[in-house]
Structure 1
Amino acid sequence: MPVTVLFAARPDRWAHYEAPLRSALDATGLDYDLRTEAAPETVDYIVYAPNSAVRDFTPYTRLKAVLNLWAGVEGVVGNDTLTVPLTRMVDDEGLGQGMVEYVTGHVLRHHLGMDAHIVNPENRWDASPPPLSRDRPVAILGFGALGQACARQLVSLGFPVRSWSRSGHEQDGVESFSGADGIDAALSGAQIVVLLLPDTPATRGVLNARTLALTARGAAIVNPGRGPLIDDAALIAALDSGQIGHATLDVFRTEPLPQDDPYWTHPKVTVTPHIASETRPDSASRVIAENVRRGEAGEPLLHLVDRGAGY
């Protein structure tokens, strides 16, 4: 009997994923049936995006695992009807490379003060050079696979990098912190802060009036992680006071960002429309196929979600 794999995402994504998924599943040697519709009781695996129509997993009585296409699982991890293993997209090399490029680009942009030269309506001639990267401390909040990849690139460019995470991952060249007190140490005097935390009850509002005040005056915030990580009112107040010099924000509590949101018009905010990185069908399909192969072989699944931690 073939392994039935249901693709449950927005209909427009099927055209992008069908060929890569078939190619990746072919490479496993499994007898499989990949489809966008199937009787629930026949489905073994669901390739899932939380914006799909599938909300109730109860009818999927043969289900072995749900394989999330996104790194974020906040839209599904709390679903009480989902009792089988849930994985998330972590090792998709396209997702990781895209995040490294976004973070590195905007860290360098803020480090070099490029905005002042790109938009200079008064034709000011300011020959003050920026400091060297070694004098620009960067704090990365969230040190999973994406945070570690970004840190490696920034360390290679000479930035002193600190990290903060729940688990306290360590990496050569990075000063690592964890726990409630660790965030204060990571942020203290940081001139650039990068947010790569998941959206969980423990991380919401992690950048607030108290923690923003720990950074160096005029620090830059780069958030390609999750919108709820920031207390929006506190950030705007910090921008207005000069405690924060600029914020580049790619994710928001409501998306698309409403047209009347103050972030659009704030002179110290750059809005990017959730483009920091995205799962690439080719590389993501290889991760999905490998997990199907592992599931059928009785091997541990890759990137299993910790339901208690929320990611």
Structure 2
Amino acid sequence: MALNVYFAAGKDIWPEYRDAIRAASAKRGLAVNLSDSAPDPAAVDYIVYAPTESLSDFGPFTRCKAVLSLWAGVERIAPNPTLTQPLCRMVDDGLTEGMVEWVTGHVLRHHLGMDAHILGQDGVWRHGVKPPLARDRRVTILGLGELGTSCAKALAQLNFPVTGWSRTEKAIEGIACLSGEAGLAEALARADILVTLLPRTAATENLMNAERFACMPMGSFLINPGRGALIDDDALLAALDAGRIAQATLDVFRVEPLPPGHPFWAHPKVTVTPHVAADTRTATAAGVVAENIRRGEAGEPFLYLVDRKLGY
């Protein structure tokens, strides 16, 4: 008997995911009845979900064994009081590789001072300023989940001394791992370049405020591909104007698209990128969805199950 899978992740991406999920399911020996139209909630076995969809009441889906998010971030669904089913976030190789490439590119951009040459095509021979070697430029990554850990390892391979910070204690070979409030202050003090890859929770809202920016070395760099709410915008602007932060590259914002009148657009020390650091890739994401359906049917633990107390 075919499993009923409701694709509640948006009409715009339905055509590309339809065949991919069906193919990934068939590869695992699963017969699925996949639909993006409003079904009988009591007949749905699994929901493939993204917050762009209007679905907000999960109560009627009494047979549903799991909600499988296509997004890595789940802050817009995890607090939903009607969601009593297991919730799985998206972790897939394509998304992780994309984030590693974006973060590594912008770390190297700031480390090497590329903007001075790319933007300064004005006939001035700027030979006097040389960057240090990577081994002399310290990088701190806030957040040591799948994305943060992968970025930390990639940067360590390039010889950057990498410090990672997480709320709970972790150990990663080649990475100096810190945790807790005291560990955060130390991690920031080591951050010649800071990369923020934490999820948005009550504990991380405005984590980077004036007090935390003051812990960082003078003239350091900030790269945020995590969540816009991690940053106190006014505190960042003040830190930029004071020279505490030399440059900031921001990919995520509290309101997206970033409003045209926002100060970040016009600030000479801010680079705005339009939430492109990492996207879910259809082929690999479909495999994760199908694998979790297989696990659910086999009675095996789900991959990337969200801890509702922590919010990720």
How far is the alpha carbon of 1:236 from its aligned partner?
A: 0.2
| Distance across 2 between alignment mates of 1:198 and 1:124 | 43
| Distance across 2 between alignment mates of 1:220 and 1:124 | 25
May I ask how many residue pairs the two structures share in their alignment? Answer: 310
How far is the alpha carbon of 1:147 from its aligned partner?
A: 0.6
Query: Which residue pairs with 2:77 in the alignment?
Result: 76
How far is the alpha carbon of 1:125 from its aligned partner?
A: 2.2
SS in 1 for 2:275: coil
How far is the alpha carbon of 1:193 from its aligned partner?
A: 0.2
Query: Contact between 1:144 and 1:169, CA under 8 Å: does it hold in 2?
Result: no
- Is 1:109 equivalent to 2:124 in the alignment? no
Amino acid corresponding to residue 269 of structure 2 in structure 1: K
Amino acid corresponding to residue 59 of structure 2 in structure 1: T
- Is 1:284 equivalent to 2:285 in the alignment? yes
SS in 1 for 2:264: coil
Alignment of 1:133-282 (within 5 A): 133-282=134-283
Query: Which residue pairs with 1:54 in the alignment?
Result: 55
Of 119-128 and 261-270, deviating more is 119-128
Cα deviations by residue, 1:80-135 (Å, 9 ceiling, x for unpaired): 00001000012x11000000000000000000000001111543322221100000
Amino acid corresponding to residue 94 of structure 1 in structure 2: G
Amino acid corresponding to residue 273 of structure 2 in structure 1: T
| Distance across 2 between alignment mates of 1:171 and 1:248 | 26
Query: Contact between 2:87 and 2:306, CA under 8 Å: does it hold in 1?
Result: yes
- Is 1:26 equivalent to 2:26 in the alignment? yes
Q: Give RMSD over aligned pairs.
A: 0.9
Cα deviations by residue, 1:194-220 (Å, 9 ceiling, x for unpaired): 010000000111111111111111111
Segments of 5+ residues of structure 2 without an aligned counterpart are none
Describe the shift of the 1:121–1:31 C-alpha distance in structure 2 as closer, same or farther (beyond 3 A): closer
Query: Which residue pairs with 2:126 in the alignment?
Result: 126
| Distance across 1 between alignment mates of 2:43 and 2:117 | 60
| Distance across 2 between alignment mates of 1:57 and 1:144 | 27
Cα deviations by residue, 1:235-276 (Å, 9 ceiling, x for unpaired): 000000100000000000000000000000000000000000
| Distance across 2 between alignment mates of 1:241 and 1:168 | 33
| Distance across 2 between alignment mates of 1:141 and 1:47 | 29
How far is the alpha carbon of 1:31 from its aligned partner?
A: 2.1
Runs of 4+ in structure 1 off by over 3 angstroms are none
Query: Contact between 2:10 and 2:52, CA under 8 Å: does it hold in 1?
Result: yes
Amino acid corresponding to residue 231 of structure 1 in structure 2: D
Amino acid corresponding to residue 135 of structure 1 in structure 2: D
| Distance across 2 between alignment mates of 1:30 and 1:288 | 12
Query: Contact between 1:74 and 1:199, CA under 8 Å: does it hold in 2?
Result: yes
Q: State the identity %.
A: 56
| Distance across 1 between alignment mates of 2:303 and 2:293 | 10
SS in 2 for 1:264: helix
SS in 1 for 2:229: helix
TM-score, normalising length: structure 2: 0.98
How far is the alpha carbon of 1:173 from its aligned partner?
A: 1.1
TM-score, normalising length: structure 1: 0.98
SS in 1 for 2:240: helix
SS in 2 for 1:245: strand
Amino acid corresponding to residue 8 of structure 1 in structure 2: A
| Distance across 1 between alignment mates of 2:291 and 2:224 | 31
| Distance across 1 between alignment mates of 2:202 and 2:83 | 19
Query: Contact between 2:70 and 2:285, CA under 8 Å: does it hold in 1?
Result: yes
Query: Which residue pairs with 1:94 in the alignment?
Result: 94
Cα deviations by residue, 1:54-99 (Å, 9 ceiling, x for unpaired): 1101111111100010000011000000001000012x11000000
Query: Contact between 1:188 and 1:214, CA under 8 Å: does it hold in 2?
Result: yes
Amino acid corresponding to residue 110 of structure 2 in structure 1: H
| Distance across 2 between alignment mates of 1:148 and 1:282 | 23
SS in 1 for 2:206: coil
| Distance across 2 between alignment mates of 1:87 and 1:166 | 20
Cα deviations by residue, 1:12-62 (Å, 9 ceiling, x for unpaired): 110121111111011111222111122111101000001111110111111
